Chain A
Amino acid sequence: MSTDPSRQGPADPARRWHDMGGDLAGPVPGEEHDFALWEKRVDALVILSGLKGVFTVDGLRRVLEDMGPEAFETMTYYERWVAALNQNHLERGTYTVAELGAKMEEVRARGATYGEAADAT
């Protein structure tokens, strides 16, 4: 969580958690990682959803913000993105919750690793 004392305790409802400019916080972390294939695909699906007119980056951001600070601290960047991608598609009616549930079952049944589960198509 934020290390800014003014941002501890009960949240100020007027200021949303993601709006963090000016907070005090610890040192800038130095680690970097190269993106995994599934992360790049999430990114690609978000960009393509915009290009195809399904939803805009604003819709993505809105859901990310509504996920709250706990998601920011406990999920990785593209985990949050894939959740927000899904939320926007559900809202726009690309597929139903039931269709997603069935498809996730099908994917999971293909194997125990990303490589096995993603290579079925």
Chain B
Amino acid sequence: MPLEPGARVRVRSMTPPGHVRTPFYLRGKTGAVERVLGPFGNPEQLAYGHAAERLPLYRVRFRMDEVWPDAPNPADTIDAEIYAHWLEPA
């Protein structure tokens, strides 16, 4: 079921060795869906020349102090685009 804007999500903390577009610094971090995009082909399949599953893509907004606990401006934010299979409800 697609997520709605505002939904709280956590980025999965898996670390496979291949091509992925989920930055390491956001893994395991919790944020809120800012908007829903897509569907887009899964880059983890496209990168190896395979037909790609179409996935929802979410812009997720993270507070700076969630990502960096020592952030001097904790209410600043980072937005990143994360494919559906990297997100779990928080």
Contact = CB atoms under 8 A, between A and B. Distances in A.
B57 to A, nearest CB: 14
Q: Tell me the dominant secondary structure on chain B's binding face.
A: loop
Contacts, number: 40
Interface stretch (B3-11, B31-39, B46-54): B46-54
Contacts of B48: 59, 62
A52 interface: no
Nearest to A56: B46
A61 B19 CA distance: 8
B46 to A, nearest CB: 4
Interface string A11-45: 00111100101100000000000000000000000
Nearest to B67: A22
B72 interface: no
A65 B19 contact: yes
Chain A to chain B: the 6 pairs with minimum beta-carbon distance, closest first? A62-B47, A22-B25, A14-B15, A58-B46, A58-B47, A62-B19
